[in-house]
Amino acid sequence: MKKLLLASALTLSALSFAQVQWKNTRFGLTAGLNYSRVANAHNPSGPRYAFQGGALALIPVGKANQFFIQPELSYYGAGETGKDSDAKGKDGYDAVYANNYLSVPVYFKGYFSEAASEFFGLVGPRFNFLLSQNVKNAPIGRPYYDPDVTDPAYPGVNGKAKSFNWGIGLGVGYSYKRQLEVAVKYDIGLGDTYPGLAKERGGTDKKKSEQVLALTLSYIFK
């Protein structure tokens, strides 16, 4: 994985000096709905529905109207809840573990052809900077899920979300005349969202990986 990321970074760096058409950069707005989960973190564990919204730049790579670098800057809701369908009525079902980020994805974007209306694919890293963490209705049996609560029975355990997180984003979408675009994106978290929960007795030391599936709509100005 590290070798792949390094190779990708070197490739993008080479493109930035050799083929990127900075003067033809276009800008746009983007918004969407997020379906988020966190693996190995809370019990019970269920999805959180949130939203994202911000701005993007579309930077051409090469002379063909087909390949681009697309950096974005957006507010990005993630985290999870306790709404596991098998835990209705149980302690923690109404819990909310909301993580809200300033998010900076940098996608390599390729349209399937040079046609004005066409499908496209996206891939690239996403960097998340924590803006706020809101925890509500943490289970009585696991009060340390709330970062503002300490439990003498579990010294050192902390439900605080990491201030910086990152992952890899993948996506496919459709562009109407290279202006109005809809996309489905999947972000695979590679960092540990809750490193303090690894110390929980009876818990797991596995990485607490944040995963987000999103449906987005973007408008790119001419």
- From CA 172, how far away is CA 111, in angstroms rounded? 10
Decide if pLDDT at 82 tops 60. Answer: yes
Q: What is the pLDDT of residue 8?
A: 56
Q: Kindly list the distances between the CA atom of residue 90 and the CA atoms of 38, 82, 95, 142, 219, in Å, as whole numbers in the listed order.
A: 19, 10, 11, 13, 43
- Tell me the sheet residues that pair with 165: 128
pLDDT at 215 over 60: yes
Amino acid at 43: N
Chain mean pLDDT for the chain: 89
Residue type, 27: F
In three-state secondary structure terms, 18 is helix
Q: In the prediction, which pLDDT does 156 show? A: 79
Of the chain, the percentage scoring pLDDT greater than 90 comes to: 70
Please check the confidence at residue 214 and state whether its pLDDT lies above 90: yes
pTM for this prediction: 0.87
**Is residue 7 predicted with pLDDT exceeding 60?**
no
Residue 86's contacts (CB-CB under 8 Å, 6 or more residues apart) are 44
Show the 3-state SS of 106-142: EEEEEECCCCCCEEEEEEEEEEEEEEEEEEECCCCCC
